[in-house]
Structure 1
Amino acid sequence: MNEALVVIVRAIITFFTLLIYARLIGKQQIGNLTMFDYINGITIGSIAGTMATDVSSKALTHWIALTVFIAFTLILQYINIKYRYLSKVIDGEPVTVIEDGKILENNLKKTRVTRDELMVQLRSKSTFDPTEVEVALLEPDGTLSVLRKSEFQYVQKKDLHIPITRAKLTTEIIVDGVILQQNIQQRGKDLTWVQAQLNKKGFDDLAKVSYAAILPNDSLYVDPVEDHVSNTNDISDYEGPY
């Protein structure tokens, strides 16, 4: 029983320590982590897990190790911000892997990326033909940035001289039948407008509305509580769990 209480106390201390340290580190996105950042994060998590559960050793020892890792992480972040050259030494630089539709094998070897892995990254960018690529850069975090050749770039509104309106966000105004009055006001609408739009779509009872949102074009999207879905888009060929 005493051991269980010790683990509970250590887990609570570890939880709030990680919460504080995570706030100190900042909001770097998972998708932008370099390999070192990824390994460093796993190590910090491992130390924290040991600190919470290893009752055979003192928690202070693990807490000091955790604090040292966090401190050096903050120091590296400061170096990356203040010193451009050292930042490139630590995190690396983008590497050109495709130029004018040609794959640069020597650069692939330097980055230890195979052609198959490169093609997977290209397909994830909706590019299935390397000859359409002007330049492709392998970023320090392992992602691929692709610049298509001019003739293969997507057409934009300004290219077709289509009138451009200011972009807006989708604003949810009804969730599980509950109206979010503040969000409605933020979009310059009122309850009368909302009710009129709901009536047009055949919704006379808020209890039937699971979710409703004002779209960027100021129209109303409504998702009913009861969905009538056909089997047209069901591509499964067996019955069973996902």
Structure 2
Amino acid sequence: MTDPFSPLPHAGEPHGAGIAARLNWLRAGVLGANDGIVSVAAIVVGVAGATSAVAPILTAGAAGLVGGAISMALGEYVSVSSQRDTQRALIAKERRELAELPDEELAELTGIYRAKGLSAETAARVAEELTAHDALSAHLEAELGIVEADVVSPWAAAGASALAFTIGAILPLLAILLPPEPVRVPVTFAAVLIALALTGALSARIGGSPVLRPTVRVVVGGAIALAATFLIGTLLGTTGVV
């Protein structure tokens, strides 16, 4: 028999466990791909402004791809490792307090629900029932906003970040190398700006915000980056510096 008090699904409102963590992972993946598109596109367009030779463009683009992917992975690994260590320390502390001070912890949980607007009787009942069901999870979520199952792996985060960056970086690299020399830069500009529009729109949809403004923002930012690096490359090439 279906529990009449169980939460019913609403369109556009996912209630699955860990949904916030999954959305954060997806958003991070989109942003990582966006970084790969912009950074490698800026590199190859800048080099293409200085020379039409394929070898320097390929070398610079490949170096930017590999270096950027490694940098993204290292940054994500360090960041997530620090976050995970902090979360684990807080979880261990809460577990110890529940074992040593169960009455005080129950009173603390009751106080949290009282502060949320529940009556003293209801808050006490909620705290008691949640404690009986899973005391640690109840305290982690109410006190610290932590879901133990959502503590992420730094290796997984690093791998996902490097993969997203690489996928994004491949596009401008192919766009600059495959077309004939006269249309190489315009094709790259067009491919990159279209890809940025797609990632901007996808990021906005994931975040539940209107699509137009963030899409325009990321496209304009990408266009400025490409124009600036192409101009610098052209100036360096025409002045004989490179």
Q: Which has the higher contact order (CA 8 A, sep 6+)?
A: 2
Q: Same fold (TM over 0.5)?
A: no
Answer 1 or 2: which has greater strand percent: 1
Structure with more of its chain in helix, by fraction: 2
With structure 1 as the length reference, what TM-score do the two structures score?
A: 0.24
